[in-house]
Amino acid sequence: MAKYLLIESRDPFENNIVARQYDLAVNLVKEGNQVTLFLVQNGVLPVRPGNLSSLLTNAAKAGVEVLADDFSLRERGIAAAKLAPGIKAVPLSIVIDQLAEGRKAIWH
């Protein structure tokens, strides 16, 4: 089993390839890996309960740890307390922790 950190900086409203990154995260879990999907920059735009937040909620249900950069949320006026189910607001320092842990890290 390996550990992965997938950092998603883009949003699925403008880029249809982003949803495939969410699928990749789920597939990595299915392969027996531990996976964090870390949303940053516009990557946090789908976290409000809405049209595409279910993609993230479903990823979380499938075992992906879905985290959102608290600064990116605040920058976009997204209340950390009002995220779609399965998504947690965290500081960016988590990325450094997971890099230091040696996770395979992929920025998209």
Partner 1 sequence: MKVLNIVEAAYRGTLEEQDDTIVWICHAMKGASADIDVLLRGNAVNYAVKAQDASGLCFGAARQTQPPQLANDLVKLKGKGAKIFVVDDALRERGIEPSELIEGVDFVSRDKLAKLFGDYDQVWHW
Partner 2 sequence: MATTLTFALMDAPYENARSTTALRLIDLAVKRGVNVNVFAYEGAVYLPFAKQAQHPNAVHGRSVEEENHPLPRAWIAALMKEATAKGVKLEWVNCGLCVDERGAAEAIEGVRRGSPADFWNFAQNSDNTLVIGTK
Which of the stretches 26-34, 45-53, 57-65, 93-101 binds partner 2 when contact is defined by CB under 8 A? 93-101
Judged by beta carbon distances under 5 to 8 A according to partner kind, the member of partner 1, partner 2, none in contact with residue 10 is partner 2
Gap between the Cα atoms of 80 and 89, Å rounded: 6
CA angle (2 as vertex; 38, 107 as ends), nearest 5: 30
| Cβ burial, residue 98 (10 Å; 0-12/13-18/19+) | buried
Q: Does 58 bind partner 1 (CB under 8 A)?
A: no
* Cα(90)–Cα(52) distance, integer angstroms: 20
- The yes or no reply on residue 76 touching partner 1 (CB under 8 A) is no
Which window, 42-50, 57-65, 71-79, 100-108, contacts partner 1 (CB under 8 A)? 100-108
Spatial separation of the C-alpha atoms in residues 27 and 21, rounded to whole Å? 10
Whose Cβ is closer to partner 1: residue 17's or residue 81's? 17
Applying CB under 8 A, among 3, 11, 19, 23 the residue interacting with partner 1 is 23
Q: Tell which one of 2, 79, 96, 99 touches partner 1 (CB under 8 A).
A: 2
